[in-house]
Structure 1
């Protein structure tokens, strides 16, 4: 999940001065990759992290300078040194990264508000940050597949070239593109921001509570669906985005599914699982998991072919025991499947 969701409450609801930090370029092996970000508040409190803890103290000092001048900075940390003269106190991490450190302004808040609105509609976004070292310019534009929705058209990129760079960003391994500017010694940084991943859990048994809680902590929007109101409620699922109660035949009609969604069936009732599986097979979702051994799932499928997106037994084979470990194995498999999936630009 993009770090950006963690920052929305701080940037949109708080009026305290803060600094936004983003990795725009890396070399070698580093703790976080391009596009990773963190927020530093005026009092030094930090939201998120970009290293194993070896740079954050210095970043707090850099943030003070940015707040004092109200100007962005580019900072490069080289962690390849194995002695204390290098950043990281001899970390020897065999990598370096360049950070863009910029103050959170009213314009930033307006952009984040528009960004949240688009992401909440389950649309991916690409941000383009242009940094000019000559005139100290730093501006960010935001695009969906339908075009620009926030900010200005980036200077120096023609309308004929822009679609190519956007597609390269979507196709890149990191979801980022670093493009040196031809007009000056600046650069453009393209960053693909995916909507918050969604997990639908069919079944509200005790084991489901651990899965819902873990998925929420990881950053998923969680929806629990069951026909029993006594089980499917806020008391047992306080962190879930929504608890949906309906008859088994109506549950799938209560929501709209997107291709990037993940679904886990764990009702522990054969007939309910059979109906849900048969219904959900018609939706083009990337991950469908079902609790229980593969032989049981084959019985549930009946004459249906075993689809590529169906995972049974659900979860990575880590020898999990108990609901807590099973929840970890399920989320690990969902994350693995999510990272294997090609990004969408719709």
Structure 2
């Protein structure tokens, strides 16, 4: 989300009457690569770029290819084979041991359906959407390279039947797919990806330790809302990067904040009664992640109070509560605690354990075969 926003900011500053623009997108990876499918790089004809498609190894060559694309006005697919450092055509040791396909396309500002326009709409609406991009196509298919199909909760029309099932599958799983299809007797290569609005962090409490948590969360591109029942703590100068500062009491706060399946709530007011009231309200919502700062006994005391007042929540509901909050990093300072909290939240939404990668058997990412078959 942060990379997309930055590319849109750069694009907005470009004088499109004098400059040409292209977009490079990683559409397929077999084996290992620094960036995964969906990584993007915006390029202008004067040699500037924003974003990245690798760890810095491929950008120079992709820039040269993008200049040709902008000159010709026609997209191209570039394959980078990094399986053998001694044999790669770039003459540098990439060390990735993978095959990477990059789709480079010119941007037509007059086309309302160009990829930059689609990304701008996504940022404005903050919806979850699946985009299918045709990046190679035979003439007989009737599909042009760069054609796109869009699936959202509101948009389902104009998706061909041969593509609909895979787009729905990507919407459900979140995993990008690169697939071959036979259409009208020809072959079509399609990259299908889901782009998400990112994690929305809601912090209950505006104390000193909220400052580094807000700073780090916004630095990685999350939206951050800070709410308190003491307006004096919500001075904007204390939280310049926060998306929203909200003054509300514990009983009303859940009615004023939109909670989605990408929302994480962190209770860190250091006020037991306030946290207790907020947590009780949150338990009646569908918010997927609730973190409570403090020792385990604090949360156990809250559970005992629920029992005394005859309030009961299912085990599935209780499993949403993470207390003590954070990964076991040995964190001590507010900045280290913020890192621990954000690490756990990221691991939760990525459905990962948060352990050492060296102890993970097999590759870090799912490996795809070099050759693909027709769907």
> What TM-score do the two structures reach when normalised by structure 1?
0.88
Alpha-carbon distance in 2 for matches of 1:108, 1:29: 35
Alpha carbons 2:206, 2:228 under 8 Å: kept: yes
Deviation per residue, 1:165-224 (Å, 9 max, x gap): 222223456333423444324312211111232111111111111111111111111111
Alpha-carbon distance in 1 for matches of 2:136, 2:94: 31
Runs (4+) of structure 1 exceeding 6 A deviation are none
Deviates more, 1:6-15 or 1:324-333: 6-15
Cα 1:146–1:238, aligned 2, differ >3 Å: closer, same or farther? same
Alpha carbons 2:225, 2:245 under 8 Å: kept: yes
Counterpart of 1:101 (choices 98, 104, 110) is 104
Alpha-carbon distance in 1 for matches of 2:124, 2:134: 25
Higher Rg of the two aligned structures: 2
Structure-2 residue corresponding to 1:344: none
* Matched ranges for 1:1-346 at <5 A: 1=1, 3-12=3-12, 14-16=14-16, 17-83=20-86, 85-87=88-90, 89-106=92-109, 107=111, 112-113=116-117, 115-117=119-121, 120-135=124-139, 137-148=145-156, 153=158, 157-158=160-161, 161-172=162-173, 174-182=175-183, 183-302=185-304, 303=307, 304=312, 307-340=318-351
Alpha-carbon distance in 2 for matches of 1:108, 1:7: 17
Cα 1:118–1:75, aligned 2, differ >3 Å: closer, same or farther? closer
Cα 1:60–1:192, aligned 2, differ >3 Å: closer, same or farther? same
Alpha carbons 2:167, 2:192 under 8 Å: kept: yes
Cα 1:108–1:59, aligned 2, differ >3 Å: closer, same or farther? farther
How many angstroms does 1:110 deviate by? 5.9
Alpha-carbon distance in 2 for matches of 1:192, 1:249: 36
The alignment partner of 1:295 has SS state of helix
**Corresponding pairs, count:** 334
How many angstroms does 1:12 deviate by? 4.5
Alpha-carbon distance in 2 for matches of 1:259, 1:272: 24
Alpha-carbon distance in 1 for matches of 2:122, 2:29: 28
Cα 1:133–1:109, aligned 2, differ >3 Å: closer, same or farther? closer
Alpha carbons 1:127, 1:142 under 8 Å: kept: yes
How many angstroms does 1:335 deviate by? 0.8
Alpha-carbon distance in 2 for matches of 1:248, 1:146: 33
Alpha carbons 1:80, 1:86 under 8 Å: kept: no
Alpha-carbon distance in 1 for matches of 2:24, 2:69: 11
How many angstroms does 1:92 deviate by? 2.9
Deviation per residue, 1:64-110 (Å, 9 max, x gap): 11111121110011111132744471223211110101112222676
- For structure 1, the 5+ residue unaligned runs are 342-346
How many angstroms does 1:148 deviate by? 4.2
Alpha-carbon distance in 2 for matches of 1:225, 1:108: 38
- For structure 2, the 5+ residue unaligned runs are 353-375
Cα 1:147–1:252, aligned 2, differ >3 Å: closer, same or farther? closer
The alignment partner of 1:22 has SS state of strand
